[in-house]
Structure 1
Amino acid sequence: MSSTNSTQRPIVILGAGIIGLTTAVRILESPLYQEEKIPIHIIADHLPNDPLDPKYASTIAGAHHLSFADDEDVNQTKWDKRTFHVMYNEWKNEGEKTGLMVLKQTELFVKHNQHLKIYEDHPDFQVIEPDQLPKGIDHSVNFTSLTMTPFTYLNRLLDRISALSNGQVMIHRHHLPSLSSLSHPSITAMIGEIPPLAIVVCVGIGAITLGQVEDQTVFPTRGQVVKVKAPWIRSGFTRQVGELNGGEGGERTYVIPRPDGEVILGGTRELNDWYPYPREETTKDILKRVLEICPDLCPKYKIAPSALAPEQDIEKLHITEDNLPDSDTDPTSPLEELVIQTLVGFRPSRKGGIRLERGKDLVLGRDHGKQDKTIVVHNYGHGGAGWQSCWGTAEDAVEILIKSM
């Protein structure tokens, strides 16, 4: 891609995950770009089509719209609602080729009997009557929600960025050690000699080590998931044990189907755990837990013949926890042959939640003596909420940017 006007000060977006790319789209759609065609550069360690990397959580995420915004958290609620609205309209207009799948989502609660109020804003919301609750469940609701296929959705964002800019946005694979490195010759060779007009920091877990940011309130929340092929699953399930506590508290087991027939099974929430490889014992635990909330994951031919009445058609069999293969006599999970991949990702969590604000301006001096200030806007620290809040935070980041001009 070629650059736009080399005499203009560019906007630089750091990071090319779901946060960086949605922010880029909203900048391109804003009057700031539409009127002035400011050059835009995206600089990132990792891009959507690269091999999977735990530090690039966007492609490893389960990726469903399931808010954990506390009832009193006005900002998180706003961001999550806005993102659902944007994605739901995308699905309505273009269907599952977007990578989005609309489905019935069932939430199962253990050891508490309240749901988040934000769920009540979803279409088709209902509370399950106490006499209809599954065994061991204290409260349950269901509603219409969304899941996402990250690879598909991220690539559509790349295409959208190209279309909105007529191919003029430049994307660079480069590790930036610090914000001040933008004045280094290795970077000016890519973005030009003129100091950037603004930098939008969307680096996720990279905020820990990025110079002039070095946010020590950011930490990894390790998540391990199992990807299986189970195209007969078209509904989502989550079991929450304990309180969310206004974030990702408690233990969560989830089943997240995607339009292509893949299903993400999870999960774990391991704070400050940098181990990048799957743990076998965790995989076995996940495969056991998901069958407790979604027995239909088990292929019907795996049901023992003794579970069927002589005249019963296996195709009409309703699988329950009671007729699943006995895990005590057969330690092999009936789901093992469905497994495609086991994945590990580091959610970019942050004490205090998402950082979405204007930072301290930079002065990036050049040999020609110009000392123009560079605006810094931060948009990172989404933890496990990146996919469910991305459009909301992108729009607020752009609003901050425009007001800072």
Structure 2
Amino acid sequence: MANSRERIVIVGAGIIGLNVALVLAQRGFGGQITVAAEHHPGDTAPSYTSPWAGCNFSAISGRDKNALRWDKKGYAHLSSLAATGSSKTFVRETESIEYWDDNVPEEKIQDMAQYLKNFRVLPPAELPDGVRFGVAFTTLTLNAPNHLKYLYERLQKDYGVRFVRKVVSDIRDPFSNPETKIVFNCVGNQAKTLLGVTDSQCYPTRGQVLLARAPHVHTNVMRHGRDYETYIIPRPESNGSVILGGYMQKGNGDSSTYASEAESIIERTTALSPELSKHSFETLAAFSGLRPSREGGARIERTDIDVAGHTRIIVHNYGAGGTGFQAGYGMATESVDTIDDILEQWSSKFSGKL
């Protein structure tokens, strides 16, 4: 018998898919959602990118208006989660300093200043050698694997979202259930090869990071170089763990880790962070992740397809690169907005009780 709980299927259980589920659930459709994915929160695999994230809210986004809009929504959402308590959500407000080796466009500065808490431009005297521009503000740092598990448990317990462990080889597969009307495509790097999508604009961006024990580090610090990224991110609710990075290697799909890169990370991060360098710290592990990137930016798009003579809907939501945790909620709200007409019909038909 067809499962009537699969009216909406979300393919992918990374941070993008989980945020789409959350937005839909908050609008009253939790009981109609099934999330289908090979890997779920708590798993680790090279193809499951989200748990490897640093991760924080960074001013790394470029001048793309979509990205800046998604960031603004994401910052408000993460701030509300931090206010709930990091012991529950694994999101915490953290003081942050970010540096650029190149000048930053004035419009980007103005955009950041509109919503980032305690935002200020650093005077030249506070900039390290080689840095052209810097800012300080209150960021949000996340314990990525534990935050994913928080969303996973919340969606099931509070909203009745169903999760199934399933390999989807074609984005049209969920429509084999006649009850399925809408599929959200949140597959990340798989969008390049997934049948029914095969987006040639997608590519991985490799990063290697170190997990270190450094309880004396309390400040997020990042330096955006011309051909590198260096960052120190204290991880909430982790007994003093810190993420040290990193790399932004476009088109590199290698999930291995390398001792030479670890040495470079330690050298760069200790030079950048006085907090890190003033005491010894212990390196616990090295990780490599593949950010799901896309030429032209993330894709948020509704498309209609014919299934056995009936119109069905696919909503694409992928390609966030390294900004999935900070932009994911904003991307989710806008992807869900594309089906407002359908959701309104359902709400009217079932009087809000699906």
Query: Would you say same fold, with TM above 0.5?
Result: yes
- Over residues 269-323 of structure 1, what are the superposed CA-to-partner deviations in whole Å (9 max), with x where a residue is unaligned? 11111211101111111111101101321363x5xxxxxxxxxxxxxxxxxxxxx
Greater mean deviation of Cα atoms: 127-136 or 54-63: 127-136
Matches of 1:102 and 1:205, distance apart in 2: 30
Find the counterpart in structure 2 of residue 83 from structure 1.
Answer: 74
Name the residue aligned to 1:206: 190
Q: Does 1:124 align with 2:118?
A: yes
Give the structure 1 partner of residue 346 of structure 2: none
For the 8 Å contact 2:207–2:247, the answer to whether it is kept is yes
Answering whether residue 57 of structure 2 is matched by residue 65 of structure 1, we say yes
Q: Is the 8 A contact 2:6 2:34 kept in 1?
A: no
Per the alignment, residue 325 of structure 1 pairs with: none
Give the counterpart of 2:163 among 166, 171, 188: 171
Cα distance in 2 between the residues matched to 1:258 and 1:341 = 14
* d(CA) in 2 for partners of 1:287, 1:175: 38
Superposed displacement of residue 40, structure 1: 1.6
The match for 2:33 is 40
**CA–CA distance in structure 2, aligned partners of residues 9 and 292 of structure 1:** 52
CA spacing shift, 1:96–1:81, aligned 2, 3 Å: farther
CA contact (8 A) 2:9 2:174 kept: no
Q: Which letter maps to 1:396?
A: E
Per the alignment, residue 15 of structure 1 pairs with 12
Q: CA deviation at 1:179?
A: 2.1
How far apart are 1:404 and its partner, in Å? 5.0
- Percent pairwise identity: 30
Instruction: State yes or no: 1:180 paired with 2:201.
Output: no
Q: Answer whether contact 1:265 1:286 (CA < 8 A) is retained.
A: yes
**Aligned with 1:298 (options 271, 277, 282):** 277
Answer whether contact 1:67 1:385 (CA < 8 A) is retained: no
Identify unmatched segments of 5+ residues in structure 2.
Answer: 344-354
Output aligned runs, 1:259-338, within 5 Å. 259=236, 260=238, 261-298=240-277, 300=279, 335=281, 338=282
Shift of residue 96, structure 1, vs aligned partner:
4.2
Structure 1 residues not aligned, in runs of 5+: 185-192, 243-249, 303-334, 366-370
Instruction: Note if contact 1:229-1:340 (Cα within 8 Å) is conserved in structure 2.
Output: yes
Change (3 A) 1:275 1:132: closer
Q: Report what 2:351 is aligned to.
A: none
Query: TM-score, normalised to structure 1's length?
Result: 0.78
Aligned twin of 2:42:
49
Residue aligning to 1:368: none
Is 1:358 equivalent to 2:312 in the alignment?
A: no
Q: Is the 8 A contact 2:9 2:180 kept in 1?
A: yes
**What are the residue-to-residue correspondences of 1:104-183 with 2, within 5 Å?**
104-112=95-103, 116-117=108-109, 118-120=111-113, 121-165=115-159, 167=160, 169-182=161-174
CA RMSD in angstroms comes to 2.1
Alignment of 1:243-258 (within 5 A): 250-258=227-235
**Matched residue type, 2:298:** I
Shift of the 241–374 alpha-carbon distance from structure 1 to 2, 3 Å rule, reads same
Distance change >3 Å, CA 296–CA 21, structure 1 → 2:
same
Tell me how far 1:251 sits from its aligned partner: 1.9
* Native 8 Å contact 2:9 2:33 kept in 1: yes
Distance 2:254 2:3 in 1: 43
For 1:270, give the aligned amino acid. Answer: Q
What CA deviation, in whole Å up to 9, does each residue of 1:185-226 have, x standing for no partner?
Answer: xxxxxxxx4241100000000111111001111000011111
SS in 2 for 1:361: strand
Distance 1:179 1:139, change over 3 A: closer
Q: TM-score, normalised by structure 2?
A: 0.89
SS at 2:73's partner residue? Answer: helix
The code of the aligned residue for 1:349 comes to S
1:339 to 276, 279, 283: 283
Confirm or deny that 1:29 pairs with 2:26.
yes
Residues of 2 paired with 1:8 and 1:252: CA distance? 43
Change in CA separation of 1:103 and 1:55 when aligned onto 2, cut-off 3 Å: same
Check conservation: 2:5, 2:34, Cα contact below 8 A: no
Q: How far apart, in 1, do the equivalents of 2:73 and 2:293 lie?
A: 21
Structure 1 position 133, deviation (Å): 2.5
- Matches of 1:362 and 1:232 in 2, distance apart? 58
Matched, 1:400 2:338: yes
SS of equivalent residue, structure 2 residue 339: helix
The count of residues paired between Structure 1 and Structure 2 equals 338
Matching of residue 380 in structure 1 with residue 321 in structure 2: no
